[in-house]
Structure 1
């Protein structure tokens, strides 16, 4: 009887061991698969490279409404400015364009995801016509700046503070500075607004179609582009990014930064934005603590508001900034 019971126990233990081994193998395979997927989407989301989901640049023809701005940008005198990033000692590159008449007013223009300074020519022209000096930096990992990852505005916010201080050092302590950005640059603009030691010379912000935080935006794109749920993939990509680049996607929050802002901010978003969904602008606007205004541009898709309604856009920016920049 004892031998029979021992054999039964032995068979049970063998079966249990096989089940544990099988389950462990499945868990290991799933974990390996998720990590592999995380590494793939890290490449898609964070490594600077051509992205299939972004629209390709088109040649600016004579009948394009932006033709005059493009021609101006091609021929205007541009000074090359350089700065060292706030972390990792990367060499950052920018174009500086002086106003037509001497002024203390300068706008810093932040470009979007996989953009660069030269793609912001239309906004540079707009602000130049409003009488501003214009500074157009390339974010780390973009354009002519060094870097092998996309910061989504978070590490870049400290780089932009260094650019702001460079403007003050170059143009004088009486400088009046506006920060403007679209998409990732809009998020960076909001992220800068919450920096504790931001120089007093920064008088106002204008953000166009920025996101609430990087986690929300990457999760939204994972669903829209690849029909994937945010859990657990976005968290895995965030962990990889934190290990490689020192910040998590939830940490990179424009929403948390505008909660600390006391300075004027104009929020702009296209009514038909399906890349950074229009609904993101409302919690951002509500959270901001300073003087503020919200413009929802009818019929505009992502980063398309100025091209869609240039007069409305320019006049709104002009009237808003006239209250705070003299």
Structure 2
């Protein structure tokens, strides 16, 4: 009897420790150092500090419903009532959005970029890959709408996790923005996690997925199934431009292809020939901008 008790306690302990390890890898994913990210963007020519400092940049703070501040920039050099919001990917921060901001600034758009929870200057203790981030995005959109003309055009661009956040938000808030750009999103978090784990350590999903779900629900209040753009994308009525690099092996381009197929109504797909994950613009700038211009013109979003 004592042996059985010891076995049960030992098994329970192993399960708890394993559950914490698995979920810690997700919710506390290692971020890139802010200084290193800044230097990378500068050295690779995607961020030009001298030009940036000449822009009318307002630092903003927005209160999250989860009791922390969301930090960002509002850059509005143009008279036009056109605004783009940018959602960066996991492990980086709003500096990573500057390359996209520049594209829209050149086209007469005003822009807003912010740090997701637990990234950059924003608060928040954990990363949730869009589940809680979509509510922060809602606060950002509401903040902007309160300060601009009610007839303003608003678009939202997201990269990687930011693209997932954009799609989840678009389903949650039906009249949030006029259009969305989803650059290299995953279509389903569970499927993406299985792919990444299999590629790195090759654990059978029958072992780690149920345990991960159990501990995510216990610790964070959601499961992997709650982060599934493929299950909700058909509900989004606004135009969506889907973008993915064909050589992306971190999030496979098939995920974006499936999202595009599932989306009903106005949409456009751009599969970039060059670049790994999140480098479609950097490695295909001319084609990227051409597709963007075609998308905006096709759906009369650049008036």
Q: Normalising by structure 1, what TM-score?
A: 0.84
Give the structure 2 partner of residue 324 of structure 1: 300
- State the 1:272 CA deviation: 1.0
Determine if the alignment matches structure 1 residue 272 to structure 2 residue 247. yes
Determine if the alignment matches structure 1 residue 262 to structure 2 residue 234. no
- State the 1:167 CA deviation: 1.3
Query: Counterparts of 1:50 and 1:160 in 2: how far apart (Å)?
Result: 20
Give the aligned length.
Answer: 299
Q: Normalising by structure 2, what TM-score?
A: 0.90
| Deviation sequence 1:119-173 (CA, Å, 0-9, x none) | 2111111111111111101111111111010020121112212211211110121
Q: Which secondary structure does the structure 2 equivalent of 1:170 belong to?
A: coil
Query: Counterparts of 1:94 and 1:142 in 2: how far apart (Å)?
Result: 11
Give the structure 2 partner of residue 83 of structure 1: 62
Q: Which secondary structure does the structure 2 equivalent of 1:194 belong to?
A: helix
Contact 1:116 1:138 in 2 (8 A): yes
Give the structure 2 partner of residue 72 of structure 1: 51
Give the structure 1 partner of residue 206 of structure 2: 231
1:103–1:152 CA distance, 2 compared to 1 (3 A): same
| Deviation sequence 1:72-111 (CA, Å, 0-9, x none) | 335423111121223x222111111113x21111001000
Q: Which secondary structure does the structure 1 equivalent of 2:175 belong to?
A: coil
Q: Which secondary structure does the structure 2 equivalent of 1:123 belong to?
A: helix
Q: Which has the larger radius of gyration?
A: 1
Query: Counterparts of 2:267 and 2:281 in 1: how far apart (Å)?
Result: 19
Query: Counterparts of 1:46 and 1:125 in 2: how far apart (Å)?
Result: 31
Give the structure 1 partner of residue 31 of structure 2: 50
Runs of 4+ in 1 over 4 A off after TM superposition: 24-28, 60-63
Give the structure 2 partner of residue 96 of structure 1: 74
- The CA RMSD measured in Å over matched residues stands at 2.4
Q: Which runs of 5+ in 2 are unaligned?
A: none
1:214–1:73 CA distance, 2 compared to 1 (3 A): farther
Q: Which secondary structure does the structure 2 equivalent of 1:154 belong to?
A: coil
1:122–1:74 CA distance, 2 compared to 1 (3 A): farther
1:227–1:206 CA distance, 2 compared to 1 (3 A): same
Give the structure 2 partner of residue 303 of structure 1: 278
Q: Which secondary structure does the structure 2 equivalent of 1:59 belong to?
A: helix
Query: Counterparts of 1:140 and 1:235 in 2: how far apart (Å)?
Result: 26
1:30–1:270 CA distance, 2 compared to 1 (3 A): farther
1:27–1:283 CA distance, 2 compared to 1 (3 A): farther
- Superposed, 1:1-326 pairs within 5 Å as 21=3, 29-47=10-28, 49-50=30-31, 57=37, 59-60=39-40, 64-66=44-46, 68=48, 71-86=50-65, 88-99=66-77, 101-199=78-176, 202-322=177-297, 323-325=299-301, 326=303
Query: Counterparts of 1:291 and 1:241 in 2: how far apart (Å)?
Result: 35
Q: Which secondary structure does the structure 2 equivalent of 1:92 belong to?
A: strand
Query: Counterparts of 1:75 and 1:222 in 2: how far apart (Å)?
Result: 44
- State the 1:235 CA deviation: 2.7
Contact 1:161 1:198 in 2 (8 A): no
- State the 1:225 CA deviation: 2.3
Contact 1:48 1:142 in 2 (8 A): no
Contact 1:45 1:218 in 2 (8 A): no
Q: Which secondary structure does the structure 2 equivalent of 1:171 belong to?
A: coil
- State the 1:113 CA deviation: 0.5
- State the 1:232 CA deviation: 2.3
